Amino acid sequence: MNFKLLFFLLIQGLGISCAPRQMIVQQMLPNKSNIIIPIPPAPILTEDHLLGFTAPPEMIEDPETGHRALPGVMQAFWRFKERAKMDGWNLILVSAYRSYRDQRRVWNQSDDSYLQRGATNQKKRVEAVMSLVSVPGLSRHHWGTELDISETSIRGQLVNVEPDTPERVLKFYTWMQKNAPQYGFCQVYLGQKGSVHNEPWHWSYLPYSKTYQKQFMDIKNFKRIFDVNVEDVDYLMRNFNRILKDEKSSINPICGD
């Protein structure tokens, strides 16, 4: 047996017996040296963190874009970015952590733009906004685990995956689907169920987000997210049970296990 493999199995075995489960999560990198990089345990997040009212602890910044994420998430992205370079893709973060206030701003901008384009029917307007923007408080971007990823040469073009999508965009998306999971990233919104459309740019760092998703699913009281400064908050309050159900069922089941 390969000595490195034996050593890895031994460490794994010790880990199972005496370390907390999160401590033994490892990431096998598909590079020449097959270095095994331990993933730091998922930081403990409270309901306040999950709903976006408090920033997750010790987030770090991407020097290229200024976007922030949990350290383990950003480090995985940087490793993934290095790997992408080898295949000629220059990954760029378009968004990462967003607070409740950030999300409220994105929500309100989208809602206003629909209003300005004549969407006076409240139900239709809110459903249109929800297909692209999560309700403030319900966004996974609050967790510090979610990254919107693009590539510098096709920036702004990865908006859908349709027959008329440019070939280079499709090529990049196919590359992402094949390689992102090896670095822990899962595409959360496939647009097959629920209220959220296909988001080929949105990737979730699964070693952490699966823990937070379980916690999020157990939250019972969402009262605090109904802020009077959120556009159409009255509609959100009246229809919240359905909205929450639709948001939850939009999640790719593979990203939850």
Pick from 62, 102, 148, 246 the residue near Zn ion by CB under 5 A.
148
Please choose, from the candidates 50, 56, 102, the residue with its C-alpha nearest in 3D space to the C-alpha of residue 219.
50
Q: Is the dihedral of CA 222, 223, 228, 231 positive or negative?
A: positive
Residue 85 CB, nearest approach to Zn ion (Å): 23
State which residue, 24 or 255, has the beta carbon closest to Zn ion. 255
State which residue, 24 or 69, has the beta carbon closest to Zn ion. 69
In which order are the strands placed within the sheet that holds 146-151?
91-95, 146-151, 202-205, 185-187
Quick check: 83 binds Zn ion (CB under 5 A)? Answer: no
Pick from 202, 203, 205, 236 the residue near Zn ion by CB under 5 A.
202
Residue 149 CB, nearest approach to Zn ion (Å): 9
Instruction: Please give the residue whose beta carbon sits closest to Zn ion in the complex.
Output: 202
Beta bridge partners, 28, equal 36
What is the rounded distance in angstroms from the CA atom of residue 94 to the CA atom of residue 92?
6
Q: Are 223 and 53 in contact (CB under 8 A)?
A: no
State which residue, 95 or 122, has the beta carbon closest to Zn ion. 95
What is the rounded distance in angstroms from the CA atom of residue 98 to the CA atom of residue 69?
9
| Region of 109-117, 142-150, 151-159, 246-254 interacting with Zn ion (CB under 5 A) | 142-150
Positions that interact with Zn ion (CB under 5 A) = 148, 202
